[in-house]
Amino acid sequence: MQKKSLKEQGYKLTKPRQLILDFFSRRSQPASVNQIYRALKAKIDKVTVYRVLAVLQEVGLIFEEPGEKESLYYAAKKQHHHIVCRVCGLSQCLPCTHFFSKIKNFSAIEHKMTISGLCKKCAH
Amino acid sequence: MQKKSLKEQGYKLTKPRQLILDFFSRRSQPASVNQIYRALKAKIDKVTVYRVLAVLQEVGLIFEEPGEKESLYYAAKKQHHHIVCRVCGLSQCLPCTHFFSKIKNFSAIEHKMTISGLCKKCAH
DNA sequence: AAAATAAATGCAAGTCAGTTGCTTTTACCT
DNA sequence: AGGTAAAAGCAACTGACTTGCATTTATTTT
């Protein structure tokens, strides 16, 4: 189960970490730092949100996502494709297998694709 | 030619705008705001770089690009696909027709694709 | 179960990208 | 050349994210 993973990798299972894991277990869409912070404002500091997200990412429990409006998005599952509304930032995930053919309720204007890896120089 | 386009669309052809257009005519790869600013530091203010880039983009002389290291990248030609080195930020453009089969000198780790458009709610 | 301790949190202050307001300068029109 | 609207420059601001440090807390040891 999820909660063991943190301990297994030598991290403490603290209240803020629990709260953010719970947040993601209740939510299927990606979330920005601010969305997470707003949801937990009463309970944890914003700095802590950043730090917890960094740890959870390191441990592989959440993943960074590209988003248009606010800069960093995170999600509980690694997903490679999404459509993002340019106006309100609404983000919808597309399973790879379905891809273009399944886009609904969106007038697609353009796409951007980035393949990140290591160039010859940096690959040692 | 390029320089007419600005005037044709009702914009003045000022020194900062010339300098940035020249910068792009000498450069085939995308550039970040800071790269542009560093190259022209002696001659124009950073705020001006931002404002000129906004105008040139509006007029269609340059285009925004996704980049990994510094946030905003601009290029003189609209290109949809690139590979970005996670370590040094080196960015290489892929003509759509060639795509994956042509990637050289890169060990691709993963890709991200974003289709941006308008969701039902925002499309009016 | 209580004390010890290393790690994590919270707070304050800092950095860095990008923006805004306002005064001065400049391209272009006559 | 002179007038004027647009653009540049400067300073100060915002918002995302980071860092340093003192306090708190989850786990270890007894």
Between A66 and A12, whose confidence is greater? Answer: A12
B6-10, B65-69, B113-117, range with the lowest pLDDT: B65-69
Contact between chains at A113 and B111 (C-beta distance less than 8 A) = yes
Query: Is residue A114 in a domain?
Result: no
Say what the pTM is: 0.71
**Is B85 inside a domain boundary?**
no
* Mean pLDDT value of segment B96-116: 62
Report, as an integer, the average pLDDT of A88-97: 60
A12 touches strand D (CB under 7 A): yes
Query: How many Å is the Cα radius of gyration of chain A?
Result: 16
Residues of B with CB below 8 A from A117's CB?
83, 85-86, 106-110
Q: Give me the pLDDT at residue B14, please.
A: 95
Q: Could you tell me where the DSSP H helices lie in B9-115?
A: 15-25, 33-40, 46-59
Q: Which of B71, B84, B69 is nearest to B29 (CA)?
A: B84
- Is B7 among the domain residues? yes
How confident is the model over A79-107, as a mean pLDDT? Answer: 61
pLDDT value, residue A5: 79
Model confidence at A6, pLDDT cuts 50, 70, 90, reads confident
Closest CA in chain B for residue A85: B118
Is residue B91 in some structural domain?
no
* CA distance linking residue B28 with residue B30, whole number of Å: 7
Residue A41 lies inside a defined structural domain of this protein: yes
Q: What is the dihedral of CA B61, B101, A65, A118, to 10 degrees?
A: -90
In a domain, A103, yes or no: no
> Is residue A101 scored above 60 in pLDDT?
no
* CA of A107, C1' of C16: distance in angstroms: 35
**Confidence check: pLDDT of A100 > 80:** no
Q: Which helix (H) or strand (E) holds B116?
A: strand B106-119
**CB contact, 8 Å: B123 with chain A?**
yes
Q: For residue B84, which of A85, A48, A113, A39 has the smallest C-alpha distance?
A: A113
**A29: which residues sit within 8 A by CB, 6+ positions away?**
A75, A91, A92, A93
Tell me whether residue B86 is in a domain: no
What pLDDT, on the 0 to 100 scale, is given for residue A52? 95
Q: State the residue range of the domain holding A15.
A: 2-78
The residues near A81 (Cβ < 8 Å, ≥ 6 apart) are: A93, A94, A95, A96, A99, B113, B115
In the predicted model, is pLDDT for residue B2 greater than 50? no
Q: Which of residues 53-92 of A touch B (CB under 8 A)?
A: 65-66, 68, 71, 80-88, 90, 92
Structure letter (DSSP) for residue A43: T
CB contact set of B35 (below 8 Å; sequence gap of 6+): B70
**What pLDDT shows up at residue A23?**
94
pLDDT in tens, A29-54: 788 899 999 999 889 999 999 999 99
pLDDT at B50: 94
Q: What CATH number did the domain enclosing A6 receive?
A: 1.10.10.10
Q: Does nucleic acid strand D have an atom less than 7 angstroms from the CB of B11?
A: yes
Number of structural domains chain B divides into? 1
In a domain, B73, yes or no: yes
Angle at B49 between CA A70 and CA B69, to 5 degrees: 45
User: Distance (Å) from CA B40 to C1' D9?
Assistant: 15
DSSP state of B101: G
